[in-house]
Structure 1
């Protein structure tokens, strides 16, 4: 099934409203630079994971109109689900609070959705994209996992594990994310609550037959603090997600999917003063 809720006869004449969901955990020092580049006319939803610094206070000082909510369990996936539940915009954008995803690119992601895509998927490895943060090991792992998804699901993704995405709010009906009201299990997380969330969303969007557009994006290094990502642990969660989603889709006879379409959006510019990233740029 292919749906296109923001284009064709059904496209609204008005400019779509936009909600930007920002998960946080002790990001007080990163917020000023991130918030300075978020467009003024969008709804910003900050989902806090129990910060012990002044993340929430700084967010309110920087953007008095901000919507702040606490996530209900642990993990980035749960934080995003909580933010999606609060979002009121026609288009929802996912960015990180550490400065790695450039809010200056939001308009291009929104333009891709408003121009015909159901889901605008950020890619560091499509022409015009880049990364100044990914390590050689993570690049290799992403390439292998990306290739596995393309083989199993008939997609042509170039970047599987990147969290900069935008989509029409109707896409939420296809994601079937864990309920934010469900109690946490003994381990603290339900499946989909962790960093596997990007992979889960990408696969379910493709399996639903929605129109996917890859948008080249430049990933910057984290400005302050340390990442909560663990290469091996979270890599295994992504692998398990791929296998479980393949089995899930096989049962529903929905493995065949359309290839993503490249949107006619401007390419990003390398941040001023940024050094050439180590290693050769590759298309995964």
Structure 2
């Protein structure tokens, strides 16, 4: 058996939009619940409450938007994927959130006036842009003077255990499957170095820049749950999963079951840690 999916970079904006549209329903079902819980922790770094104008760029289906709206902020969520926006809107409606608006928008060319938001944020969004500096500069442009930016990005690829377990299981079942590149790493890891991250925020014009490295602890109940989460987390993961035959997927899931059982050590869930960088800054 051979591994069939070519590892093609997703560069053109229509391709990016289509790639995220394809995985959006699964992303919303499996990834967003984990991401919202982490987003709640992220937002503790900002003064968010009623009356605060909050912008979430490349919002997915609401990892930051939903918890910000729960805190009473006036939230605008944007994403390049119409299907992601549909999923986010459905989440907001299910909670009766009249204070959350979701709109399709390109994060590198926001259709918004200058200096209107108290807090601008992006969790694993702007950090995935091929032109990350352009995305950060747009965040600064629409921030009020004195306003705050919060940007969340993956840390080191080697410290992303949910990806490592997923890839490890695939390559154990299909040794010829390609490994993820490390030099340079995939776009989600382009801000893994805190010094690079700080430099990009400063280059975009922000001040009072800081980057904190924390751990995102994911509670994984089963191999099937982790598989669905990793395969829907990004078009890269989706492509890796789609390249397997049914037999290869079955073999990989068996390997993954053993890996998680060993990590759980008799507990009902396995905890997988992922290194995350949280950048904070202000517009002076």
Structure richer in strand, relative to its length:
2
Structure with larger Rg: 2
Higher helix share: 2
The structure whose RCO (Cα within 8 Å, separation 6+) is larger is: 1
TM beyond 0.5: no
Which TM-score applies when normalising by structure 1? 0.35
- State the TM-score, normalizing by the size of structure 2: 0.35
